[in-house]
Structure 1
Amino acid sequence: MSTPLKVMLGNHPHTRQLKNGTVPVDGADCQYPEASPLPPAFARMVRDLAYDICEMPLATYLQARDAGIPLTLLPAVLVGSTHHRSLTRLPEGPELSPGDLVGRRVGVRAYGQTTGLWVRGWLQEEYGVKSSDVTWVTTEDVHVAQYVNPPYVQRSKAERVADLLRSHDVSAAVLGPKAIGGQGAGLVPLVADAENAGLAWIERHGTVPANHLMVVRDDILRTRPDAVLAVYRALKKAIADTADERDDSPAGRAVTAGWSDQLTKCLEIGGRYALEQGLVTEPVDVAAIERKTTFLDR
């Protein structure tokens, strides 16, 4: 009997269906280890190849690929949304426009955090603020050990990004979706109409920013392609089966499975942003990424 696949997934409606057996993985035996919080599992995957298949933030995957870590992207978006609301400030502080951040300090969990990737992308695109125009103050290291932060990134001893704001160490802070409702409660976005600004970004680019996708170890894809296909097909079914649990918001529309124009555009834009921000050293070849897993959708 084959060794069970270790599949590390967060708890989303579409992934819980695999974990609880509602959607069986026909043709593969899977184990689903738990990690709470989830981000340390991402570091274990890119540093130690700790799992066979793993949920993975887009920026972490791009950095891992750039570093030559043997992982392959699977075409399934597990989490995504727009991020104009993710750049926040204290409500009682002075009003700031995103364009006012040049020369200021901004908090972010890690420079390689995917939310930060998307925020810095639209900051440059819409306000002309380059990554190097800001000092990025972090509370954690990037997941990919080989990566060295640029000189305009500083590490803080603070445990939480919101604490940087409340101690007035930074002028603004980048918070992911969960943090906005948690440690970021009460903070306000710098973009006055963040929701419509995010929708305008989607209209302009024809895609929704992806935060978490999935990766598989190259050796597992090479030696057990049928098992990988079984996991992918089960996840694709679970995403389809839970469609009525998602609304028409960007977060609802982001969750998809399969190669599509939306996913290709997302990777192209994310790859361009990553290169502009110094997260990767070479342009991202999205066509090469896609070629490795086109067999999944045949």
Structure 2
Amino acid sequence: MSDLQKPLLTFAAGYHLRAKPLCDGRVKMKNFELKAVAFEEDGRGHEEFLAGKYDTGEFSLANYLALKSRGEPLMAIPVFPNRKFRHSYIFVREDSPMKEPAQLKGKRVGIPGWLNTAGLWIRGILSDEYGVKAQDIHWIARRKAALNLSVPAGTRIDAVPGEGSLAARLLKDEFDAIIVPDFPEEDGVRRLFPDSKAVEQDFYRRTEIFPTSHAITFHKAYLEKHPSAAQEMFSACYEAKQLALRDDADATYSNFAWNRQVWEEQRAVMGRDPWKYGIKGNEKVLNTLMRYAGEQGLLDRKVTLDDLFVAIDEPQN
């Protein structure tokens, strides 16, 4: 099939190593003309995908779960390009006396919104690991949820847009702590967990959960017209990830002086490929996230892995 005959597939993802080979043309699709772009800001990129600017794209799993449970015509493939341990994304002021999760009880905690996946993970982990329930905290969201959610009875959430970043507002004493998806740029804040890396490594050793925030998602109409696009996109993303893993192991490729030592440490804790694509090997992390979504009122009805993901022929990770 010539390039002129191939169906166009427009795709958007974050600008990270796992997507760059798709954006720079090193990885191509056999039967589709892939037009891949990188978005610099997740929220805007997700909104553009949802509005139909792209056929497929990296999309928030919290939003995806909520929308799928309400019948939105979307379908994901089991590609998870954005994963982060989330204990290290709880911040307090440098002079705060708080150093452990139990001290968050009764406090004001700023969040982007209830549908943010980082917050979904952290609230679930606070409950499972530390006994801090959603009802124990006064949540202050920058924006009101776009969907009607059934949050747990007794949960207090106020939408207060405010001015400036959540970290800037934390420094002005609008909150006692914040939960954010990315690290603040402001001085004067610190992580709640003094040694968050050790806490996160212990969490992984005990649970084998590496939290995933995004999945590659299609508009269902595109897959109905081009059903083979799901498998081809999965294969292309898998190839791109393998290139990223190869680059990670090359100390010359990185700007970090101790890149190889970091690579060796991660491999000792998490194995050869923490960035598993496919359902196999991700059942626990996905089932945990679905449970958290149900407990925190995101779902309008129960959803299953079969509801959420196209069946894919998966390579061995």
TM-score range, shorter chain: 0.7 to 0.9
CA distance 1:90–1:253, change in 2 (3 Å): farther
- Give the CA deviation at 1:38: 2.6
Report the AA paired with residue 24 of structure 1: K
What runs of 5+ residues in structure 2 fail to find an aligned partner?
249-262
1:280 paired residue number = 299
1:9-28 map, 5 Å: 9-28=13-32
Q: Over residues 99-133 of structure 1, what are the superposed CA-to-partner deviations in whole Å (9 max), with x where a residue is unaligned?
A: 12222110111211111111111111122111122
Contact kept in structure 2, 1:117 and 1:273, CA below 8 Å: yes
Q: How high is the sequence identity, in percent, across the aligned residues?
A: 22
Contact kept in structure 2, 1:10 and 1:38, CA below 8 Å: yes
2:165 paired residue number = 160
Question: Structure 1 stretch 222-231 or stretch 113-122: which is displaced more?
Answer: 222-231
Structure 2 CA distance for aligned equivalents of residues 35 and 147 of structure 1: 28
Residue 30 of structure 1 pairs with residue 34 of structure 2: yes
Structure 1 CA distance for aligned equivalents of residues 117 and 127 of structure 2: 16
2:141 paired residue number = 138
Per the alignment, in what secondary structure is the counterpart of residue 164 of structure 1?
helix
CA distance 1:124–1:95, change in 2 (3 Å): same
Q: Over residues 15-69 of structure 1, what are the superposed CA-to-partner deviations in whole Å (9 max), with x where a residue is unaligned?
A: 11011111112211122345332312212333x3332111012212111212211
Structure 1 CA distance for aligned equivalents of residues 97 and 237 of structure 2: 46
Aligned residue among 210, 213, 218 for 2:212: 210
Contact kept in structure 2, 1:89 and 1:189, CA below 8 Å: yes
1:267 paired residue number = 286
Q: Over residues 149-199 of structure 1, what are the superposed CA-to-partner deviations in whole Å (9 max), with x where a residue is unaligned?
A: 8462222223311122111011101122xx31x435552222233222212
- Give the CA deviation at 1:295: 4.5
Aligned residue among 88, 110, 115 for 2:113: 110
CA distance 1:201–1:155, change in 2 (3 Å): same
1:155-194 map, 5 Å: 155-156=159-160, 157-176=162-181, 179-180=182-183, 182-194=184-196
CA distance 1:283–1:192, change in 2 (3 Å): farther
CA distance 1:91–1:235, change in 2 (3 Å): same
Aligned residue among 182, 196, 199 for 1:197: 199
Contact kept in structure 2, 1:208 and 1:253, CA below 8 Å: no
Q: How many corresponding residue pairs?
A: 290
Residue 57 of structure 1 pairs with residue 60 of structure 2: yes
Residue 66 of structure 1 pairs with residue 69 of structure 2: yes
Report the AA paired with residue 185 of structure 2: Q
Per the alignment, in what secondary structure is the counterpart of residue 173 of structure 2?
coil
Report the AA paired with residue 223 of structure 1: K
The structure with the largest alpha-carbon Rg is 2
Structure 2 CA distance for aligned equivalents of residues 25 and 216 of structure 1: 16
Contact kept in structure 1, 2:68 and 2:308, CA below 8 Å: no
Structure 2 CA distance for aligned equivalents of residues 222 and 297 of structure 1: 24
Structure 1 CA distance for aligned equivalents of residues 163 and 287 of structure 2: 34
- Give the CA deviation at 1:89: 0.4
Per the alignment, in what secondary structure is the counterpart of residue 121 of structure 2?
helix
Structure 1 CA distance for aligned equivalents of residues 186 and 275 of structure 2: 24
Q: Over residues 240-294 of structure 1, what are the superposed CA-to-partner deviations in whole Å (9 max), with x where a residue is unaligned?
A: 12213343277x9542322212x1111100111111111223333124434x323
Contact kept in structure 2, 1:139 and 1:158, CA below 8 Å: no
Contact kept in structure 1, 2:231 and 2:312, CA below 8 Å: no
Structure 2 CA distance for aligned equivalents of residues 294 and 35 of structure 1: 26
Contact kept in structure 1, 2:171 and 2:188, CA below 8 Å: no
Structure 1 CA distance for aligned equivalents of residues 132 and 224 of structure 2: 43
Please report the TM-score for the alignment, with normalisation by the length of structure 1.
Answer: 0.88
Per the alignment, in what secondary structure is the counterpart of residue 18 of structure 2?
helix
Question: Structure 1 stretch 166-175 or stretch 227-236: which is displaced more?
Answer: 227-236
- What is the RMSD computed on CA atoms of the aligned residues? 2.5
Contact kept in structure 1, 2:23 and 2:38, CA below 8 Å: no
Contact kept in structure 2, 1:239 and 1:256, CA below 8 Å: no
